[in-house]
Amino acid sequence: MTGVDGVSSTADVVGMPLNMSPVVEHRVALSGHVTRALEVEGDGPGIVLLHGWSHSADTWRPLLDELAARGRRAIAVDLPGFGEATPLQPGAVLPQLDAFAAELVTMWAEGEPVVIAGASLGGCLALRLAEHPGELKLAGVVPVAPDGLEVPSWFDPIEEDPLVRKLLSLPVPVPGEFVRRAHSGAHRAFAFSDAQRAMVDAFGRDGATRADIAALLQSGRELAPELLNAPFDLVGIRCPVLLVWGAYDRMVPHSDARMALDALPTTQVELIENCGHQPQLEATGRLAELLLPFGR
């Protein structure tokens, strides 16, 4: 499969032939960054999937399989600074992610309208992109528990987790796997509903070393103030919006949806029962059902 920049490098079908996954993994260059894309073929409108802070495109793998099985075209990428993407540049984080996501949509859409679905930070980016209806052809946006509606609460519990802090402070080398498990364990305990905490780790490839975790936490410190400073203008959004929340989300509670509903009276809100902050992993089938008719 050809990358969105027209130059595919080492494209291979992920999981073939063991599980016959339709997901194709390849490298793409966008807005000065080189990153990894996971893509499935199908009909449109295509769906662009944007992950949250500390995650990667891997969080969308189950949903990509679902969409492919139902014949829907979709793509997920590692955002700059996460997964296998090149690092962010010094300076404000959100404008860099905006430019990257806008170029992804423009190049991948090939002139056709697309749906942008984003989780947490990715949901914030989806709403920011929707502020400019004349620049991008959007069939709609589906923010999943988007950041930016109220004070972000996802960062402190991870940074302050005793095990994470202890491993980062030790004066001797620590196996990267221990650090990665501490980080993902702290995140999982806060992000997932009680019934889902034992799920397979799908947070991607961040955090292999203490340096990786330290850099990740630093990016969170830099990003949090930006999310406090009115990161999007809801009244400027003209395309259809479907807000999705897990009913048991403790990181970005669904009460935050009231702010969006007040600004966008035509917005729809869907709550997924028995689900925390990661519907794409905890309730993959239900999220696919919500996405498939959207934008058509």
pLDDT band at residue 256 using 50, 70 and 90 as cut-offs: low
Cα dihedral angle (101, 102, 105, 107), rounded to 10 degrees? -110
pLDDT for 241 = 92
User: How many whole angstroms separate alpha carbon 98 and alpha carbon 222?
Assistant: 16
pLDDT band at residue 26 using 50, 70 and 90 as cut-offs: very high
Q: Who contacts 99 (Cβ-Cβ below 8 Å, separation ≥6)?
A: 31
**Whether the predicted pLDDT of 144 surpasses 60:** yes
pLDDT band at residue 8 using 50, 70 and 90 as cut-offs: very low
- Decide which of 207 and 219 is more confident: 219
pLDDT band at residue 165 using 50, 70 and 90 as cut-offs: very low
pLDDT band at residue 198 using 50, 70 and 90 as cut-offs: very low
What is the helix, strand, coil percentage profile of the chain, to 5?
40, 20, 45
User: How many whole angstroms separate alpha carbon 260 and alpha carbon 266?
Assistant: 10
pLDDT for 247 = 87
Q: Stretch 103-131: mean pLDDT, rounded?
A: 94
Asked if residue 154 lies in contact with residue 251, where contact means CB atoms within 8 angstroms, the answer is: yes
| Coil/strand/helix, residue 277 | coil
User: How many whole angstroms separate alpha carbon 122 and alpha carbon 49?
Assistant: 8
Indicate the range of 42-56, 66-80, 107-121, 162-176 predicted with least confidence: 162-176
User: How many whole angstroms separate alpha carbon 176 and alpha carbon 211?
Assistant: 10
Indicate the range of 19-28, 45-54, 209-218 predicted with least confidence: 209-218
Q: Residues 88-100: pLDDT tens digits? A: 999 999 999 999 9
Name the one residue in this structure whose structure tokens are 């139902």.
Answer: 70
Q: What is the mean pLDDT of the chain?
A: 77
User: How many whole angstroms separate alpha carbon 282 and alpha carbon 24?
Assistant: 23
Q: Stretch 187-198: mean pLDDT, rounded?
A: 43
pLDDT for 182 = 42
Cis preceding linkage at 17, omega within 30: yes
Q: Stretch 21-36: mean pLDDT, rounded?
A: 94
Provide the whole-model pTM: 0.78
Nearest to 221 by CA among 169, 156, 126: 156
Cis preceding linkage at 162, omega within 30: no
**Whether the predicted pLDDT of 138 surpasses 80:** yes
Q: Stretch 131-152: mean pLDDT, rounded?
A: 83
**Whether the predicted pLDDT of 159 surpasses 50:** no
User: How many whole angstroms separate alpha carbon 35 and alpha carbon 38?
Assistant: 10
User: How many whole angstroms separate alpha carbon 141 and alpha carbon 132?
Assistant: 12
